[in-house]
Amino acid sequence: MTTVPVLHMPDEPTGRAARWLAGVLDGRSLDTVLTEDDGVVPWLWTRWRSLASAGMSEAAFEQIVLAYRREIWLWLAGERTWVQCCSGLIGRISRRLAGHEHAGA
């Protein structure tokens, strides 16, 4: 049985967030901004590498983040705080891992 890791909330990436928002406002798709080499997905993955030891692949993580894109957009646009956005994503990831753990039991 794999233990679901406790994910910490990283400090808000304010400089990166400004660049990510500018990218979308300049016409790049949100999905591209989320998944490109210096996007949200790789940035978070480097902080939550413990997910790999819990059985989550980077591709599965990317799909969870993409499914959460609306909330990430609201954070980038200033309609959500980082704490609201990130804590919701952490909850979603934890539920997916816990569900996967129960499915394998």
Tens of pLDDT along 49-77?
Answer: 999 999 999 999 999 999 999 999 999 99
Q: Is residue 57 situated within a structural domain?
A: yes
Query: How far apart (Å, rounded) are the C-alpha atoms in residues 45 and 50?
Result: 9
Q: With respect to residue 9, please indicate whether it lies within any of the assigned structural domains.
A: no
Answer whether residue 35 is part of any domain: yes
Query: DSSP for 23-83?
Result: HHHTT--HHHHHHSTTSHHHHHHHH-THHHHTT--HHHHHHHHHHTHHHHHHHHTTSS-HH
Distance of CA 26 to the CA centre of its chain: 22
Q: Answer yes or no: is pLDDT of 102 > 60.
A: no
Euclidean distance between CA atoms 100 and 94, whole angstroms: 10
For the chain, the domain total comes to 1
Instruction: Tell whether 53 is covered by a domain.
Output: yes
Enter the pTM of the model.
0.89
Residue 1 lies in a domain: no
pLDDT at 105: 46
